[in-house]
Amino acid sequence: MKVLDVKSLVIPDIKVISYHHFADDRGFFTETFRESDLTKVIPNFQIKQVNESFSKKGVLRGLHFQWNPYMAKLIRAISGKIIDFFLDIRLGSPTFGKISGYELSSQPTAGKNEWILIPVGFAHGILILEDSTIEYLCTSEYSPGCEAGISPLSQDIDWSIADKNVKKKLEELKKSQLIISEKDKEGLTLKQWQKDERSKNFQY
């Protein structure tokens, strides 16, 4: 996995990691993960579980998070195109309650593909811009008794730092073919979560 670049997004804890994509007239080859290379840029990142999901265009999933054990995630698009959302839920954080997103595509740009790192303390979601398969590398195993979700439609989420293009694409899909599960739609509001004793698991 030849890491080409690591950049921080509007919330600096969120990182985008670019890695080399080799292509010629036969096709392509890319090494998507090598522990020794990744830990140089994300120290102590250990994979405990790998997930893969397929979603149709217009699907909105999230915003999910887990504690005991805490779970950080590396996400990439195997096929298709998505917007990856991250909401800061760390009590005391200067960006608490703020959300932004980053567009990920399976198609390489300038010979590189990308992972996005969602560390502990962020609720995570995805918006599917075209039929897509997503891979998640997780730092812990799924713990159903220690997970929660904030509805991505919650009116008290602060979108002020979100990229204008991200917000535009979300609004376009809202008007046409947004698909969201009842569980996600009826998730907590940000204020409900903030008043929940479990929110103290995430401190800045």
Report yes or no: 70 and 97 within 8 Å, Cβ to Cβ: no
49 appears as a binding residue in the annotation: yes
51 appears as a binding residue in the annotation: yes
- Give the active site residue among 19, 21, 64, 102: 64
Structure tokens that stand for 83 in this block: 């917007």
State the DSSP code for 43: T
73 appears as a binding residue in the annotation: yes
> Taking Cα atoms as reference points, which of 75, 34, 68 lies closest to residue 53?
75
Q: Tell me whether residue 20 is one of the annotated catalytic residues.
A: no
- Give the active site residue among 19, 21, 102, 136: 136
Report yes or no: 133 and 79 within 8 Å, Cβ to Cβ: yes
Q: Tell me whether residue 64 is one of the annotated catalytic residues.
A: yes
Report yes or no: 35 and 17 within 8 Å, Cβ to Cβ: no
Q: Which residues pair with 79 in a beta bridge?
A: 133
- Output b/e per residue, 115-153; b: 16+ Cβ within 10 A: bbbbbbbbbbbbbbbeebebbbbbbbeeeeebebbbbbb
26 appears as a binding residue in the annotation: yes
> Taking Cα atoms as reference points, which of 27, 18, 4, 22 lies closest to residue 74?
18
31 appears as a binding residue in the annotation: yes
Binding-site residues, in ranges, read 26, 31, 49-51, 61, 73, 124, 147, 167
Q: Which residues are catalytic?
A: 64, 136
Binding-site residues for substrate, in ranges, read 26, 31, 49-51, 61, 73, 124, 147, 167
